[in-house]
Amino acid sequence: MTLLDKLEHKQGFTDTEIRIADFILINQEDVPNMYIQELAENTFTSHSAIIRLCQKLGFSGYRNFKGALIHEIQSNKHTITHVDPNFPFLPTDSSINIAKKMADLTIETIRKTMGKLDKEELNKAVEMIRNAKRIYLFGNGDSQIRARSFQNKFIKINKHLIIADEYGEGIWNTLSMDKLDCAIFISYTGNSVSHMKIIKYLASMKIPSIMLTSNSESTMSKLCNLTIEVPHDEYDNFKVGTFSSQISFEYILDTLFSIIYAKDYTSNLNDLKKKEEAIKKWDLL
């Protein structure tokens, strides 16, 4: 059992020692910089109470305890732990603990998302996007923010994607599409009523479509030409935020953009240099 685990479990601790342990756990980043007097004042205890706790934990005194605590905190920063995507932090967590948990959630989510990626499906999605005359992005709420980020990246390589749902114009944008276009739907649950109607129309008109979702078995997914699946780790509604799903979507969209950019890397780089020169010449920034 690690030092932090022992402080968490508090086995055999007195009420005073529990108070000291709780303070240390909540203030892990600050305690290593505290003298024993400061810790005693902050916990309304005494030097002797702190030393007794240190000895109960297997250390000769406070200095040795601090050294072990510093080492464990630094080691934990480089260790990825599982985090609940729905409630990734607790009200008792310190700021640095929340930062660590969010970092762990991000890393874990990206690894799980990458594990679901299929090379052939990824390449097919890239070619569908590259060959499309126009690309329409469908997404509601947080997913539309991901769509806008995707749109913004393509401006840099002279491709102008359309946020189809913007200003409530999803239907009119749908009706303007033809077989040379491509629609990309970003929907975690894959059960949007409004998008279902649009996908049915696109399928009947044989207009290409791609779905990013955690629900590859939904009717929406099956009607699309291609589905890229993300991990299904979040509850539909009962959660702090859409952290995991949006990390997955952002990662996939960034990957698609990067592959497309790499296909014409030299051309895109030369174009970037020309734009940089124009910015400097005309003082556009």
Q: Strand order of the sheet with strand 162-163? A: 162-163, 135-139, 182-186, 209-213, 226-229
Q: Does 262 lie in the same domain as 172?
A: yes
* Integer CA distances (angstroms), 23 to 19, 27, 43, 52, 220, in order: 6, 6, 7, 16, 50
Indicate if 74 and 23 belong to the same structural domain: yes
pLDDT in tens, 93-133: 888 889 999 999 999 999 999 999 999 999 999 999 999 99
* Boundary-marking domain end, from 58, 78, 98: 78
Residues 69/28, Cβ–Cβ less than 8 Å? yes
DSSP β-ladder status, 182-186 and 135-139:
parallel
Q: Do 144 and 261 lie in a common domain? A: yes
| Residues 152, 242 share a domain | yes
For residues 208-247, one letter each, b for 16 or more C-beta atoms within 10 angstroms of the residue's C-beta and e for the rest, the string is: bbbbbbbbbebebbebbbbbbbbbbbbeeeebeebbbbbb
Report if residue 285 sits inside a domain: no
Instruction: Count other Cβ atoms within 10 Å, centred on residue 136.
Output: 25
pLDDT tens column, 25-69: 989 889 999 999 999 999 999 999 999 999 999 999 999 999 999
Range of the domain at 21: 3-78
Q: Judge if 56 and 160 occupy the same domain.
A: no
Six token digits for residue 18: 């529990």
pLDDT tens for residues 239-272? 999 999 999 999 999 999 999 999 999 999 999 9
Same-domain check for residues 160 and 57: no
The dihedral formed by the CA atoms of 45, 50, 53 and 55, expressed in degrees to the nearest 10: -160
Q: Are 266 and 156 members of one domain?
A: yes
pLDDT recorded at residue 156: 94
Going by pLDDT thresholds of 50, 70 and 90, the confidence category of residue 71 is: very high
Distance CA 261, CA 274 (A): 17
- Kindly state whether residues 163 and 260 are assigned to the same domain: yes
Q: What percent of the chain has pLDDT over 90?
A: 91
- The total domain count for the chain is 2
78, 96, 115: which is the final residue of a domain? 78
**33 and 123 share one domain:** no
Residues 6+ apart with CB under 8 A from 81: 101, 104
Instruction: List the CATH number of the domain containing 23.
Output: 1.10.10.10
Same structural domain, 116 and 73? no
Q: Where residue 229 sits, what CATH number does that domain have?
A: 3.40.50.10490
Query: Do 173 and 162 form a contact (C-beta atoms < 8 A)?
Result: yes
Same domain for 57 and 184, yes or no, is no
